[in-house]
Every structure is written in C-alpha cells, then in structure tokens.
C-alpha cells in the first residue's frame, strides 16, 4: 500500500488546486489557505486511498475517475444556511413582491433558488408563499413553481429528502412554523407535502448556461457570489438578468451587492430592506 502524504501540499499543487477550483466552480481560494484544503480533503483522500495531492489533482484535471471532480467540489463548497436567513428578504417577498404580483393578477410565478444548499432557502420561500396565500385567499399566485439548484450533489440529496433534525430546525424557525409546516418522524422533522410539492431540485453550476432552466420572475442568489471574482460576479448577474421576465426581481445576500457588477437592475429600498428589479 502507498504511503499517505496528505498533511502538506506543495506550492505547485496549491496553485493547481486553486486553478481547478476557480475553473470548476468559480470559488477563489486566495493565498495561505493550505490548511483549508488539508482539513477538507483528508477524509476524501483516505476514503479513496489517494496518496498525494499530485495524484488527486491528476484525477480531477483529467476527469478520471469521473466522480472525483464532484467529490472535491462537494468537500470545498461552504454549505452554511438557515431558515428565513436574515428574515428581511422573506418579509419583502411576502409583503411587497407577492402583493404587487397579486395586484397585477399574475398567475404563473417561477422562482429560482440558485444556490439552495440543503434546501432551507427554497422551503422557506414555499412557506412564505403558503403564509401569503393564507393571508390573501384571493391571491392569484396559486400556481407558483420553485426551482432549486446547487452545484453540490450531496447537498441536493439532503435537500430533496426534506428531513431535518431538531438542531437544524432551531436555526431560524419559530415553534409555530415548525408545528405548521413540518411533521415529526422519529427524532427528525419532515417538510409537509404542501410545502414540498412546489419545489423541484436540479444540479446547476452557476458558471454554466441557464438556458435549460427557462425564465423566472424572481431569483434568489444569496451568499454565493461572495466566493467569486469580480468578473464571475458580473457574468453571473448579467446572465441572471437575461433569465428574468420583465420586471423580475433579484434577492442577494446581506453582504452582497450588484454595484459595480451589473447595471441591468435597479435597487429597491423597500420597507423590509434592499432588493433589485430588472430595469425596463
Ligand atoms: C453558503 S451556501 C448559501 C445557501 C443559501 N443560498 C443561503 O443563503 O442560505 C452557498 C451554496 O453555493 C453553492 N455553490 C458554490 N459554488 C457554486 C456554483 N458554481 N454553482 C452553483 N452553486 C454553487 C454551494 O454548494 C453552497 O450550497
């Protein structure tokens, strides 16, 4: 058996790793993050019996074996998320955007949760819509579809299961919403069918074409642009603008902005916070 040499990474292999990650999923690693690679790769290297970073990089660069690329991306992406993350985007969605769509009598609304991680964001959107429909039974938005995508295949598996433990539910979910929108199964909680049925999941790398996804009325692109270079941010935001229907909306993360990256959107300073609308 080969000797494992995985506790250090050479300068050359660090550069190769950085290049692979930027090209494959847009994530900029910067300098001095050797510890991050080592801490996130050790398990994979041991499981796959890979003896060095050179061997790992040769596999991902050549695409052989095929699954190694996905496994490295899975291990290197940060999947941090929570229910109703930052609250205000979901309040703006319910009070301002859904209400405006109702006023316009919009029937078919398509929403894209574009970096959905383990599902909390798209299910939060679906819960927000259910709460809106309960408040406004005459709302026209009954035929809303939520398309949730991520690059991480393991996150998509978790998201589709729609099953969370108590600790994960505690991150942003009130006791009332837990009782109303989840069903207890043993020591886990399942999202109810009413919330689940609007959401469909798909693998999508934000660096690649969005054409196959169709057009949207609202896009959530939250807490993912922070990892990308200015050029990537610009490209993604401009392509998202083209994936939106006229007057479509864009929600970014609390520390993200379009300023300097795209002039396709106007900023809306709503009562609940800032979001964006496609310029007409
Ligand atoms: C920090 S989570 C954000 C989750 C959620 N949007 C939120 O705000 O809570 C970032 C997600 O972006 C995904 N991601 C990273 N690079 C991506 C890419 N190139 N294409 C699609 N998703 C990507 C990761 O897999 C991860 O699930």
Whether residue 241 is contained in a domain is answered as yes
Burial of 18 (0-12, 13-18, 19+ CB in 10 A): middle
Task: Please tell me whether residues 156 and 205 are part of one structural domain.
Answer: yes
> Residue 265 phi/psi, 5° resolution?
-120, 150
For residue 33, the domain's CATH number is: 1.10.155
Estimate to the nearest angstrom the gap between the alpha carbon of 225 and the chain centroid.
10
Please count the structural domains in the chain. 2
Task: Please tell me whether residues 102 and 135 are part of one structural domain.
Answer: yes
Put simply, whether the predicted model's pTM sits higher than 0.75 gets the answer yes
Whether residue 2 is contained in a domain is answered as no
Task: Please tell me whether residues 97 and 204 are part of one structural domain.
Answer: yes
**Which pLDDT tens digits describe the chain residue by residue (280 residues)?**
445 567 889 999 999 999 999 999 999 998 999 999 999 999 999 999 999 999 999 999 999 999 999 999 999 999 999 999 999 999 999 999 999 999 999 888 999 999 999 999 999 999 999 999 999 999 999 999 999 999 999 999 999 999 999 999 999 999 999 999 999 999 999 999 999 999 999 999 999 999 999 999 999 999 999 999 999 999 999 999 999 999 999 999 999 999 999 999 999 998 888 999 999 9
Domain extent for 140:
88-278
Q: Specify the residue with its C-alpha closest to ligand 1, atom 23.
A: 151
Estimate to the nearest angstrom the gap between the alpha carbon of 96 and the chain centroid.
23
Task: Please tell me whether residues 205 and 169 are part of one structural domain.
Answer: yes
Q: Specify the residue with its C-alpha closest to ligand 1, atom 2.
A: 79
Q: How far apart are CA 53 and CA 57, in angstroms?
A: 6
Residue 225 Cα to ligand 1 midpoint, Å, equals 8
Burial of 111 (0-12, 13-18, 19+ CB in 10 A): buried
Q: Which residues line ligand 1 (CB under 6 A)?
A: 25-27, 77-81, 85, 115, 117, 121, 150-152, 155, 205-207, 222-224, 253
For residue 244, the domain's CATH number is: 3.40.50.150
Estimate to the nearest angstrom the gap between the alpha carbon of 229 and the chain centroid.
17
Task: Please tell me whether residues 121 and 67 are part of one structural domain.
Answer: no
């Amino acid at each position: 058996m080969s000797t494992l040499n995985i506790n250090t990474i050479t300068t050359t292999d660090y550069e190769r790793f950085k290049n692979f990650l930027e090209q494959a999923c847009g994530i900029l690693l910067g300098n001095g993050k050797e510890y991050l690679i080592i801490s996130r790769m050790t398990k994979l290297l041991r499981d796959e019996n890979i003896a060095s970073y050179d061997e790992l990089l040769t596999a991902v660069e050549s695409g052989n074996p095929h699954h190694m690329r996905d496994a490295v991306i899975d291990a290197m992406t940060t999947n941090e998320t929570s229910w109703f993350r930052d609250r205000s985007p979901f309040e703006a969605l319910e009070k301002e955007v859904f209400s405006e769509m109702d006023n316009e009598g919009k029937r078919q609304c398509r929403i894209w949760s574009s970096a959905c991680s383990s599902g909390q964001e798209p299910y939060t959107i679906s819960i927000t819509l259910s709460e809106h429909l309960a408040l406004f039974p005459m709302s026209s938005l009954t035929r809303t579809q939520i398309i949730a995508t991520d690059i991480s295949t393991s996150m998509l598996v978790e998201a589709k299961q729609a099953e969370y433990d108590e600790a994960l539910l505690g991150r942003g979910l009130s006791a009332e919403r837990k009782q109303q929108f989840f069903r207890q199964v043993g020591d886990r909680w399942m999202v109810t069918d009413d919330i689940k049925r609007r959401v469909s999941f798909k693998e999508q790398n934000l660096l690649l074409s969005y054409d196959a996804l169709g057009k949207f009325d609202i896009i959530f692109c939250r807490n993912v642009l922070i990892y990308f270079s200015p050029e990537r941010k610009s490209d993604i935001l401009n392509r998202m603008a083209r994936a939106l229907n006229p007057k479509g909306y864009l929600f970014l993360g609390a520390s993200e902005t379009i300023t300097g990256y795209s002039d396709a959107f106007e900023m809306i300073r709503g009562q609940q916070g800032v979001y964006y609308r496609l310029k007409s």
